[in-house]
Structure 1
Amino acid sequence: MKTLTLALALAFAADAAPPLPADAPFREEIARFAEIDAIQTPPACPVLFVGSSSIRLWTSLREDMAPLPVINRGFGGSTIPQANLHFDRIVTPYRPRAIVVYSGENDIDSGASPAQTVAAFEQFLALKDARLGDTPVFYIAAKPSRLRIAQLPKQAELNRAVAALATKRKDLRFIDIVPAMLEGGARDLYVADGLHMAPAGYAIWRDKVTAALNAAGIPKRRCR
């Protein structure tokens, strides 16, 4: 165990990214991740969850994904370009067995087109290819939030584009949570702000993500 801990520590030292610029978006949150890692060595060969606040606020993630080891690196109300900017801080060092991404909804809300958002995600995949080879990526579809119901057509265009991209890449899988969330009926899947999810919403995500990971054999996958 001591040998494994030392190996992980050395890997993190080798993967250390340059100091964060003073004007880096979400600088304090990203720096906090490094502080957490310094206090407690992250689990080896985790499933890494990255993205915006829908990942950050998934407080039951560890229990929902058990017995798989997981790391949550959702931050702020981030966009895909911001995840790309911090890739070597929130993805590369963990050498994950798989990466689950929820990002893109905020991109659309901030004015990016679906095409621009997909292009940014392709940059994320290019970074993954360069740093982590064939590590599989699972993309959770943009969710149909009550607050952003007017953006459903653009979200649908984004989702279709990522789903199409997944048919061309063996390392990418698209997780479509939209039909199950729209079928919620009387269940309230969101908290009062109409954007972030209540436990019932995360229960849908838990089932869909777990099914996708299992179908891809992730629980048995070894890390690089």
Structure 2
Amino acid sequence: MKHLFVVLLVVPLMVIAQTDNPFKDEVKSIQKKNDSLWDPSKPTIVFTGSSSIRLWEDVQERFAEHQVLNTGFGGSQFSDLELYLDELILNYRPVKVFIYEGDNDIFAKKRPRKIIERAEQILADLQQRNPNMEIVLISAKPSISRWKYRGRYRRLNRKLDKLASENEKIDFVDVWYPMLDNRKVMQDIFIEDGLHMNDKGYDIWYDVIKDYMD
């Protein structure tokens, strides 16, 4: 009976742990891949965040003059990134990190103000632990499938821009407006789901982000 009680107690705790860390296995896989690619003797630039980063499969090739690591993990929010700052960013001692989060936060109906509060905590932690690292916040992107939330995304982007303007080590790069045509989101820059980008979409990102690489 005692053993049964222990089992009944442990199983729910294991379920809770898995729920609290849904990206644990994915992060381990990302670490394993990037550990095999990383040359500690070279300056490193990390791209991290949700699936728009994870699916940027040729980011290293596009910025071939730099050592770039892609540690994006799909479906993530700022709160998820906060759990893995070491594994996805700090362990690689980057000179610069590009962060794309907020897209899924808004879709999860989090308020922009609350999202910014979490972002501030993350940025403060990163800067305390690696003061020389430059941080670039990538704006939330527009998309066909989430266009009805455009007002919330624009509010979030304004707040991210303001947050970056208050710190000389943080930049904000706007990919929102370059992805619009006559104030409507472009239709030919996404794959079938209307959320994730095709090569045309990433061409836009490259054109905007390249000026922030050096």
TM-score > 0.5 by shorter chain: yes
Give the residue type in structure 2 aligned to 1:209: I
Counting matched residue pairs gives 193
Which structure is larger by alpha-carbon Rg, 1 or 2? Answer: 2
1:48-87 correspondence to structure 2 within 5 Å: 48-87=46-85
Give secondary structure in 1 for the equivalent of 2:74: coil
1:40-95 deviations in Å (ceiling 9; x for gaps):
25133211001000000001101111211100000021001100111111111000
Give the residue type in structure 2 aligned to 1:25: P
RMSD: 1.6
Q: Aligned in 2, Cα 1:137/1:68: closer, same or farther, shift over 3 Å?
A: same
Offset of residue 35 of structure 1: 2.5
- TM-score normalized by the length of structure 2: 0.85
1:27 counterpart residue number: 24
Is the Cα contact below 8 Å between 2:135 and 2:171 reproduced in 1? yes
Is the Cα contact below 8 Å between 1:45 and 1:94 reproduced in 2? no
2:198 counterpart residue number: 198
Offset of residue 127 of structure 1: 1.5
Is the Cα contact below 8 Å between 2:180 and 2:186 reproduced in 1? no
Give secondary structure in 2 for the equivalent of 1:74: coil
Measure, in 1, the Cα distance between the counterparts of 2:62 and 2:131: 27
Q: Aligned in 2, Cα 1:186/1:84: closer, same or farther, shift over 3 Å?
A: closer
2:11 counterpart residue number: none
1:212 counterpart residue number: 212
Measure, in 2, the Cα distance between the counterparts of 1:34 and 1:53: 16
Is the Cα contact below 8 Å between 1:49 and 1:100 reproduced in 2? yes
- Alignment pair present for 1:129 and 2:127: yes
Q: Aligned in 2, Cα 1:186/1:157: closer, same or farther, shift over 3 Å?
A: closer
Give the residue type in structure 2 aligned to 1:155: Y
Measure, in 1, the Cα distance between the counterparts of 2:142 and 2:30: 29
1:148-178 deviations in Å (ceiling 9; x for gaps):
0011100000000111112110011110111
Stretches of structure 1 that go unaligned for 5 or more consecutive residues are 1-20, 219-224
Structure 1: 4+ residue segments shifted above 3 A:
184-187
2:145 counterpart residue number: 147
Offset of residue 22 of structure 1: 4.6
Is the Cα contact below 8 Å between 2:179 and 2:186 reproduced in 1? no
Give the residue type in structure 1 aligned to 2:189: L
- Alignment pair present for 1:97 and 2:95: yes
Stretches of structure 2 that go unaligned for 5 or more consecutive residues are 1-16
Percent identical residues: 33
Give secondary structure in 2 for the equivalent of 1:191: coil
1:161-212 deviations in Å (ceiling 9; x for gaps):
1111121100111101111100388660100000000100000101111112
